[in-house]
Amino acid sequence: MRKRTVFRLTAGTAALGAATFAYASLIERNMFTLRRFDVPVLAPDAEPLRILHLSDMHMMPDQRRKQQWVASLAGTDPDLVVVTGDNLAHPEAVPGALRALQPLLDFPGAFVFGSNDYKGPVWKNPFTYFNPNREYRQGAELPAEDLRQVLTGAGWADLNNARTSIKAGGRQIELVGVDDPHIGRDDYASVAGPAPAGADLSVALTHSPEPRVLDEMAADGFDLMLAGHTHGGQVCMPFVGALVTNCELPRQMARGLHRWPGTDTWLHVSAGIGTHPTAPIRFACPPEATLLTLIPS
């Protein structure tokens, strides 16, 4: 009887594990979700302004469902589109990424890149994400410059260690950004400086939400900081949330809208639209884009 009980428990656990993996790999990772937040950062008499925040598509050439869903977000009619990196996951992924982004190029936009825009993914043991001192490895070169050329050709602002001012939604918006801190490409010092008082809004971009970068952006008085990279934890536990963030950001800030500690600056971290190709699962953390409606503070 005891052996039979142990066998049933073992079989039940294995079945539950298989069912959970099937759900995470076949269902939830394709449950594309549009999240919405109101962000109180505008002047008291200002009209709302909509920012569509996309991140971490990790596009593969044949991911047509993902491409169609991202393209459909043009229907949200944003005033500004912001993309915070890791668009590619394959050397031939640029056409697929552009099928996704093409309808959005008609809107004002800005972008920064992530590590997986420059180099492709390599297989890794998922448990290494719990080791903050692990060696970071990258794969083959990706056509980041081809993607950059199309985005800038459409008039989008390239904010990889750059700063500019654009007009969107009838407002003057100050923008600053850094290249990916996760691989040491950031140089905020070259673009740092107080957000101008004359701008209607100031927004800062980074792929990886490293606190050392966010601290400086917030100290310069930017109203809103946008980041990705964390995948929201990708595999989360009920009542616990993200287990890792793959950066120095606290786990409780792995996704969503938060006030940056000790400042008036808001931070939005996107849980992202895709997954690393070698770990195509999501659990309790569906893929997402976010429509941020900026309202009077």
Coil, strand or helix at 38: strand
Q: What's the confidence (pLDDT) of residue 170?
A: 96
Q: Taking Cα atoms as reference points, which of 233, 239, 248, 227 lies closest to residue 286?
A: 233
Q: Which domains does the chain have, with CATH numbers?
A: 31-296 (3.60.21.10)
Give the span between the Cα atoms of 103 and 105, in whole angstroms.
6
Question: Looking up tokens 């931070």, which residue turns up?
Answer: 267
Q: Where are the alpha helices (DSSP H) in 32-118?
A: 64-72, 94-101, 115-118
Burial 241-263 (b: 16+ CB within 10 A, else e): bbebbbbebeeebbbbbbebeeb
Angle between helix 144-153 and 94-101 (nearest 10):
30
CB 238 within 8 A of CB 284: yes
Give pLDDT, residue 13: 43
The pLDDT tens digits for 60-72 are 999 999 999 999 9
CA distances to 25, 133, 236 from 32, in Å: 13, 32, 17
Q: What is the rounded CA–CA span in Å between residue 257 and residue 36?
A: 10
What is the reported pTM?
0.90
Tokens of 75: 């229907």
Handedness of CA 34, 73, 62, 157 (dihedral sign): negative
Closest CA to 209 of 156, 260, 151: 260
Cα gap 232→284, rounded to integer Å: 10
pLDDT along the chain (297 residues), means of 10: 49 46 69 98 96 98 96 98 97 97 98 95 63 70 97 98 97 98 97 95 98 98 98 88 92 97 98 89 95 96
